[in-house]
Structure 1
Amino acid sequence: MITDPLSTHRYTPTQDLQGLVIASVQAALGLHLLRAAGLVTGGTAGTALILAYVTGWNFSLVFFGLNIPFFALAWAARGPVFCAKSLGTVTLVSALAEALKPVLHIDSIHPAAAALLFGISAGVGLLGLFRHSGSLGGVSIVALIVQDRWGFRAGWTQAIHDVILFALALWLLPVDRVMWSLLGALVLNGVIAFNHRRDWYVVT
């Protein structure tokens, strides 16, 4: 009988750290491109972007603040390690999103390019976070819990939430920005839905 060597392997702390950092950088870069085009996305990040556009508040602070209630859910449902990793990655992404503004200034980017690049970059970033038992908080925490308990794909849970959020965005933002944003959200959720399965990610 052949045993999959990954089934008994666990990440070392160093492997976990580098995986979470790289994934956080990818997610922050995707958000930076999205914000440069004035677009939004789903999940907690999308809610934070809408609030930032409408009120002028700082995106990173809003994003971090919105995630605070979900950390208690993460602790209760998936334990202190997952909660700590999620807190760390949300903090890192919030900080990187601010740090990228002065060092990667984008004067002009077509919304289609921003949407596609965001969807791919942030989608791969989320996959990395999921694989290392982390998340970007908010809806992604709920999506992982639903997948673990009932087998419903994390990407589809996020997609359902995004439909509701985009319906709200149509009331607050220009229609063309919402339509391009929808493209980015579809790409991101497609990356997650077709590449993240519990039985594929046996390393913890």
Structure 2
Amino acid sequence: MNMTHTWLSILEGCLLAALGLHILNSAGFLISGTAGISFLILQFSDFTFGQIFFLLNIPFYVLAWQTLGWRFTVRTFLSVSLLSGLSELLRLYVQVEMNPILAATFGGMLVGFGLIILFRHNSSLGGLNILAVYLERKFNIHASKTTLVADLLVIACAFSVLEIGSLAFSFLAFLILSSIIGRYHKSPAASQPPVPVLQES
């Protein structure tokens, strides 16, 4: 695959995901995966979302490097760095006011399609996405299942932080995101023979 096409696609995926996360964050809704954990920590920290998101992903690069290959790890590191930077720019220069249902819907859709683009170009947004890709490649557990379970655990931890209304809209965003990944993300095992975990792709 042409490298220019690959990196333009990764940029597009990060832009979609960053905008979706910004919409959800601006509405005060919980964000999925590692971003959701970052959102929870944000409530008790002086760091920004982009800074927390970048720092939380650092330990997961070890798992990615050892099990998913250096290409995936490098692309994921650059994707996470890019999304962190875009999140900072959006926080400073873009204000979003949106109906809660629309915020949950558009936020979940944008993050979902952003992740699809990244998955299809051997990248991710780190953290729980790395775990989802690892479980899919090694045990053929679809990424949408891992994502949904992780998101439900994040929601469970958020009851002490968010009101019921915000949790409900957050759950709507999670369902939309998981549905998009489930319908549009093709498992590698479904289209080709299993690839050894340590093999570079």
- Shared fold by TM > 0.5? yes
SS in 1 for 2:76: helix
Mark the runs of 5 or more structure 1 residues left unpaired by the alignment.
1-10
Q: Which residue of 1 aligns with 2:40?
A: 50
1:31-56 alpha-carbon deviations (Å, 9 max, x no partner): 11011101112210000011112334
Q: Which residue of 2 aligns with 1:86?
A: 76
Residue 168 of structure 1 pairs with residue 157 of structure 2: yes
State the alpha-carbon separation in 2 of the partners of residues 14 and 21 from structure 1. 11
**Equivalent position to 2:120, from 121, 131, 141:** 131
State the alpha-carbon separation in 1 of the partners of residues 22 and 107 from structure 2. 8
Amino acid at match of 1:27: A
State the alpha-carbon separation in 2 of the partners of residues 43 and 102 from structure 1. 23
**Equivalent position to 2:85, from 91, 95, 114:** 95
Q: 1:79 to 1:171 in 2, by over 3 A?
A: same
Amino acid at match of 2:99: H
Query: Which structure features the higher share of helix residues?
Result: 1
Residue 155 of structure 1 pairs with residue 141 of structure 2: no
RMSD, aligned α-carbons: 1.4
Contact 1:41 1:182 in 2 (8 A): no
State the alpha-carbon separation in 2 of the partners of residues 47 and 133 from structure 1. 23
**Equivalent position to 2:55, from 56, 65, 78:** 65
SS in 1 for 2:36: helix
Amino acid at match of 2:127: G
Contact 2:34 2:53 in 1 (8 A): yes
Q: TM-score, normalised by structure 2?
A: 0.91
Percent identity reads 32
Mark the runs of 5 or more structure 2 residues left unpaired by the alignment.
193-200
How many residue pairs match? The answer is 192
Structure 1 segments of 4 or more deviating over 3 A?
A: 199-202
Amino acid at match of 1:89: S
Aligned-residue offset at 1:139: 0.5
Q: Which residue of 2 aligns with 1:16?
A: 6
